[in-house]
Amino acid sequence: MSNRATVGINDDYAVLSVGLYRFYYGYEITERKPDEDGDGGDWCFQVQVFDMPALTIPRRDLGGDKYSSPAELLLLGIGAWIGQTRGD
């Protein structure tokens, strides 16, 4: 495992991986049952630690309505995660 950061950005997702952490913004299956769209998925920010989901925040709960690109929403999610881990 490397502490070197890797970044991937596309038009429908953004990911930052470093060490044990993976930060992701994109479309994820968040429910076992289909939702109104029929797939059970949602746009969300997700943190994984040791390849296990540690935090998932749906897009509607991220705030920042002026942001639309996956890279911007990834940064917004990382900021929310830092705030939660610090207790802010």
**pLDDT tens readout for residues 25-70:** 998 765 555 556 555 678 899 999 998 989 999 898 998 789 999 9
Question: What is the reported pLDDT for 69?
Answer: 94
Higher-confidence residue of 34 and 87: namely 87
Contacts of 62 (CB under 8 A, 6+ apart): 45, 73, 76, 77, 80
Question: What is the reported pLDDT for 40?
Answer: 60
Model-level pTM? 0.82
Domain residue limits, the chain: 6-86
Question: What is the reported pLDDT for 3?
Answer: 82
Around Cβ 26, how many Cβ atoms within 10 Å? Answer: 18
Residue 86, pLDDT above cutoff 90: no
